[in-house]
Structure 1
Amino acid sequence: MASNSTWRAQAEAKRQSILDAIPEKWRLATPVPSATEVRDVTGSYIQQFLSKREIEITESDAVDIAAQTTTGRWSAVEVTEAFCHRAALAHQLVSCLHEVFFDAAIEDAKKLDAYFAEHKKAVGPLHGLPVSLKDQFHIKGIDTTMGYVGWIGTFQGEKEDPRFGTKESELVRELRNLGAVLYCKTSVPTTLMAGETVNNIIGYTWNPKNRLLSSGGSSGGEGALMALRGSPAGFGTDIGGSIRIPAGFNHLYGLRPSSGRMPYEGAANSMDGQSTVLSVIGPLAPTARSLTLLFKAVLSQQPWYHDPLVLELPWRDAIVEETRSLIEQAKAGNSTLAFAIMHWNGVDRVHPPIARGLKLVEQALQKMGHRVIPWNPPSHTTADQLLFKTFFMDGGVDIKHHFGLSGEPKASQVLIVEDGIELSVSQLAELNVAKREYQKQYLDYWNSTAELTGTGRPVDGIFCPIAPHAAIIPNQFGAVGYTGFVNVLDYPSVSIPVTFADKTIDVRPTNPSAALEEHIEWNYDADTYDGAPVGVQFVGRRLQEEKILTLTEYLGEEISRAVGAK
């Protein structure tokens, strides 16, 4: 085991190398003000360091950017340079990057421009689109540390492994084929098992909208980078909420698909080989339609021929058209769409901004003419127990090994214990049976809602919190139960941005009976949370990503319009 001074020196050298990779012309000339001086570094704050043209490019969404780059109206080089600049600024403001390879990205963009000039067509649907990646994906010549000091300069901690510097994850290969430009990898909490992003290499990744708070985890760097518009779209992973939590904490959209839709082959992970609750890959972006663009593009690469765990399930236009037909009926004033609202899970009481956000969604759905029913499913305590038994099944052997490579300490936010008790084979089988039985109970309950909707079919989706709180005060992440039950069930789920915490609105009511409402936790710091993004989670049925993405594009826009009108 390395000494305390050794791992600290290694971490410091790596941290400095990230900063050194930022071109001198993009480095901030003066220190960043403290969070107490400037909480919000999004919008006009970061814009002051950018040209009008850079702002135009970086504040366009992925769909609009691809429309320009795939037709040759915008060059890949110009777009890439703009996002590299903004990403460099974002890292200096909130510490959100693990790897910076801007020079290589610009060279790739030059090749794309040359291809277009010669062939008068795009390489693929993502031609010239910068795409950021969570630091689990292997890229040739680039470190993958996943926040571990012991992984620096190695292949997942193995110093002599020939895959170091040569391996590329399957998703990386497919994104290159699609014409995407890869330019940075984003920060994660060491082990990935935390709702906040903190590690011994870059420290803490702060929330750009309110730098007193967390960007979430474990795809926290993706969330923070996008909140500052340093990326138009990217990919994270999710085993207990790691896409949806950062998306919700940063006013973004984020999709957790069912397992088997996106390729995980060749990506690093914690507890690799654990298959009771699978980690999945999904996109994050500032707009819902950007999620659809990325998800559909990856499926066009037929990943089932390259990843044995991907289902041969191409993008299904028939489901999209069927869903759009329901949406058009609704817009015509004859909605047969029905949704459920779960204001709390019976376990973790929610803070006032979250309760208000769900109420705003419920009101918006009703105003649109949709049927809305309460959601009273099988016990979510059971889901919590199943999830945490899965997280702890190896007794902490995996993380203990990887922390031991450098001797670095574990952050307090990490959910996994280092010295637990491993499950036996029979105990693992028992856990898998219990999970299957819970999935069946939940499936039956969902089907039973056909009796309540009045549409002749069960609810089309569920709205519920992403977490009990908005973007959290460091070391106060409450629970993963609101997102984790979805992982246990293997349902697709999308984070939808709604509003922001407001210290003048989210206050204890004067009516004592209202203040005692059982699902609201009034013991929260309204001043500190002021300005924090508030999102909700929209959950669909297993493997129905096409339906949930189509509905999210419609509902997200309508909810935003309704909330903005208040």
Structure 2
Amino acid sequence: MTTSWKDAAAKKREAISALIPAEWRIDNVPSVKEQVDVTDYIKQYLSREELGITESSADQIVEKTTSGAWSAEKVTRAFCHRAALAHQLLHCLHEVFFDAAIADAKKLDAYFAKHKEPVGPLHGLPISLKDQFHVKGVETTMGYVGWIDTFEGKKGTGKERVFESEMLRELRASGAVLYCKTSVPHTLMAGETVNNIIGYTLNPKNRNLSSGGSSGGEGALIGIRGSPVGFGTDIGGSIRVPAAFNGLYGLRPSTGRLPYEGMSNSMDGQNTVLSVVGPLGTTASSLRLVTKALLSQQPWLYDPLVHEIPWRSAEEEHIQQLLQFVGESVPKEKRLAFGIIHTDGVVTPTAPIRRAIKLVTKALEAAGHEITTWSPPSHRVLNDTGFRPWVFDGGRNVRDAFALSGEQMATQVSLYQNEMKEFTATEIAETNVAMRGLRKEYMEYWNSTAKETSTGRPVDAVISPLAPWPAAREAKYKYYGYSTWVNALDYTAVAFPVTNVDKSIDVKSSDFKPVDEKDQEIQDDYDPEIYDGAHVSLQIVGRRLQEEKILAVAEYVGKLIGK
């Protein structure tokens, strides 16, 4: 590059800021050292009408836009304003294209005025996108300085700023308005979001904590209500972790359910444990809305890896019937069976996570559902095997991306700093065989739970931690096992909010006995004073391709616990 990587990063960072209108600038951003909940702080800069719009869920918004009660332009402007404020407080945006979004919204309004009907089920709904999606008119850096002014690090491809990922065609056809792309950790392979372009993405509830990763910009933006719903990706927890850290719902579908065609990625071509795309939002019904809309566009006709599985209403109807019994015991014939993971035997969850598990367990038992302790095959073995694909190429792909600019690698991804041995074709094949065996073993265990339940069915879903703590502190995300086991098995999972940290209740255990040094280190990183008020979330896990069912279960459990 003709300039230093620091100069190139600064120029890009300033270009993003320059796209924020002067009237939307915050003069005195509060210091991060102040433990300010900026989800409340941001409200002073918004009108009453903007607050009403931006604090509505995606499904509430489309009720208004598809009926003509709210114009697409009004809704889009409100979210552009809040997103601009969010970036100044949290460093969560990589690309801003507000003008293009407003122009698209005006076209939607013109269509509605002429035809007296919406373009589609997402008519006028603003949707944010993780910076893996290619969008016409803007670039994709994926957090790499060396990708600035290129197409995935290459120049002269003819795709720069004109190519779009497949899912965008489907979102636009459904009437969605696209207006920004959100921050990621360079490499994508981290549970915190940091890169040399925009710095560290902060948690809006508590800026001393991480927003999660790798869809951390999505988590932060939606968490502060700068977006009603957005799309991220997940290869080791990258949708569910940001959703959990920011008090949101996040769907990790199984591979092949939603289209990934035409998106940028790290280590593209690694097929043992695939990254998947899925939504994050403030409600389970928001996730259902956008997932159904995408499937109505028949993505299997445009992405060869998508299964031809339309939305299956029958799969969720039984669960949705349970909503009528919230507040009372469920009839015996409608009850569900849940497996509960209290610990994976490798790292012990901290006090707030343990309390969340107890809260959910108690609520399910009070409603009459069946609870059993989940005692599956070793998660340590499963995760150790599932981790291998992340280093199949010895880190060459990500090191090559850093070499384009010579930029420094963040501590959070220092795993890739040094040369590692590349796996041979034989070793990759052996890993695939091992993974197949582990998936079969886990499937048989799940099947065997039918003998333990009064329903006569195997356990319907598993309640599990997503991380040992409510959110990671900077450079302290040191254990991924509670999220990656789901990816290794390719199971469907939904993150959901449970409660908030209460420093008077969620105290450190005085008699804790660690499994090993790492277990002790994780416990030591939890400080009730720092974490006070932070979101506490869990995940509901189902078998492969059970998106309809597990979303319905998440919605039911959320209403059962008042979330």
Do 1:76 and 1:112's aligned partners in 2 also have CA atoms closer than 8 Å?
yes
Which amino acid in the other structure matches residue 36 of structure 1?
K
- What SS is found at the alignment partner of 1:313? coil
Indicate which of 261, 264, 282 corresponds to 1:265: 261
Structure 1 stretch displaced more, 291-300 or 326-335: 326-335
Return the offset for 1:232. Answer: 0.2
Pairs within 5 Å for 1:209-358: 209-325=205-321, 332-334=330-332, 335-358=334-357
Corresponding residue of 2:487: 487
Structure 1 stretch displaced more, 245-254 or 547-556: 547-556
Which amino acid in the other structure matches residue 544 of structure 1?
Q
Tell me the C-alpha RMSD between the 2 structures.
1.6
- C-alpha distance 489-332 of structure 1, shift in aligned 2 (>3 A): closer
Pairs within 5 Å for 1:121-136: 121-136=117-132
Segments of 4+ in structure 1 off by > 4 A? 325-332, 515-522
Paired with 1:142 and 1:489, the residues of 2 have a C-alpha distance of: 35
Return the offset for 1:472. Answer: 1.1
For these two proteins, the number of residue pairs brought into alignment is 554
Corresponding residue of 2:7: 9
Return the offset for 1:143. Answer: 0.8
Pairs within 5 Å for 1:65-80: 65-80=61-76
Corresponding residue of 1:455: 455
Do 2:508 and 2:528's aligned partners in 1 also have CA atoms closer than 8 Å?
no
Corresponding residue of 1:390: 389
Question: Once the two structures are aligned, what percentage of the paired residues are identical?
Answer: 58
Return the offset for 1:321. Answer: 2.2
Corresponding residue of 1:42: 39
Do 1:383 and 1:481's aligned partners in 2 also have CA atoms closer than 8 Å?
no
The superposition leaves residues 400-452 of structure 1 with CA deviations (integer Å, 9 ceiling, x where unpaired) of: 11101000011110164241111101100000000000000000000111111
Return the offset for 1:161. Answer: 0.9
Task: Point out where structure 2 has 5 or more consecutive residues left out of the alignment.
Answer: none
Return the offset for 1:31. Answer: 2.1
Corresponding residue of 2:471: 471
Corresponding residue of 1:113: 109
Corresponding residue of 2:529: 527
Return the offset for 1:331. Answer: 5.4
Return the offset for 1:258. Answer: 0.2
Paired with 1:164 and 1:508, the residues of 2 have a C-alpha distance of: 52
Paired with 1:272 and 1:155, the residues of 2 have a C-alpha distance of: 15
Return the offset for 1:35. Answer: 2.2
The answer to whether 1:403 aligns with 2:402 is yes
Corresponding residue of 1:33: 30
Return the offset for 1:387. Answer: 2.0
Indicate which of 124, 136, 142 corresponds to 2:138: 142
Return the offset for 1:516. Answer: 4.3
The superposition leaves residues 54-98 of structure 1 with CA deviations (integer Å, 9 ceiling, x where unpaired) of: 000000000010010011110000000000000000000010000
Paired with 1:415 and 1:282, the residues of 2 have a C-alpha distance of: 27
Which amino acid in the other structure matches residue 7 of structure 2?
A
Paired with 1:332 and 1:258, the residues of 2 have a C-alpha distance of: 29
Paired with 1:13 and 1:48, the residues of 2 have a C-alpha distance of: 30
Do 1:326 and 1:337's aligned partners in 2 also have CA atoms closer than 8 Å?
no
Return the offset for 1:385. Answer: 1.0
The answer to whether 1:547 aligns with 2:549 is yes
Do 2:93 and 2:180's aligned partners in 1 also have CA atoms closer than 8 Å?
yes
- C-alpha distance 504-18 of structure 1, shift in aligned 2 (>3 A): same
Paired with 1:10 and 1:387, the residues of 2 have a C-alpha distance of: 36
Corresponding residue of 1:417: 416
The answer to whether 1:166 aligns with 2:168 is no
Paired with 2:351 and 2:179, the residues of 1 have a C-alpha distance of: 39
- C-alpha distance 162-416 of structure 1, shift in aligned 2 (>3 A): farther
Indicate which of 512, 528, 539 corresponds to 1:537: 539
- What SS is found at the alignment partner of 1:449? helix
- What SS is found at the alignment partner of 2:268? coil
Paired with 2:324 and 2:29, the residues of 1 have a C-alpha distance of: 48
Pairs within 5 Å for 1:376-387: 376-387=375-386
Which amino acid in the other structure matches residue 49 of structure 2?
R
- C-alpha distance 325-47 of structure 1, shift in aligned 2 (>3 A): closer
Do 1:255 and 1:493's aligned partners in 2 also have CA atoms closer than 8 Å?
yes
The superposition leaves residues 182-240 of structure 1 with CA deviations (integer Å, 9 ceiling, x where unpaired) of: 00000000010000000000000010100011000000000000111000000000000
Corresponding residue of 1:198: 194
The superposition leaves residues 237-272 of structure 1 with CA deviations (integer Å, 9 ceiling, x where unpaired) of: 000000000000000000000000000000000000
- What SS is found at the alignment partner of 2:411? coil
Do 1:392 and 1:416's aligned partners in 2 also have CA atoms closer than 8 Å?
no
Return the offset for 1:325. Answer: 4.5
Paired with 1:131 and 1:507, the residues of 2 have a C-alpha distance of: 39
Paired with 1:111 and 1:280, the residues of 2 have a C-alpha distance of: 31
- What SS is found at the alignment partner of 2:180? strand
- What SS is found at the alignment partner of 1:431? helix
Paired with 2:85 and 2:555, the residues of 1 have a C-alpha distance of: 30
- What SS is found at the alignment partner of 2:222? helix
- What SS is found at the alignment partner of 1:560? coil
Corresponding residue of 2:20: 22
Return the offset for 1:323. Answer: 3.1
- What SS is found at the alignment partner of 1:552? helix
Paired with 1:288 and 1:400, the residues of 2 have a C-alpha distance of: 38
- C-alpha distance 168-522 of structure 1, shift in aligned 2 (>3 A): closer
Do 1:54 and 1:82's aligned partners in 2 also have CA atoms closer than 8 Å?
yes
Do 1:193 and 1:416's aligned partners in 2 also have CA atoms closer than 8 Å?
no
Do 2:330 and 2:369's aligned partners in 1 also have CA atoms closer than 8 Å?
no
Do 1:254 and 1:496's aligned partners in 2 also have CA atoms closer than 8 Å?
yes
Do 1:343 and 1:355's aligned partners in 2 also have CA atoms closer than 8 Å?
yes
Which amino acid in the other structure matches residue 118 of structure 1?
K
What TM-score results when the alignment is normalised by the length of structure 2? 0.96
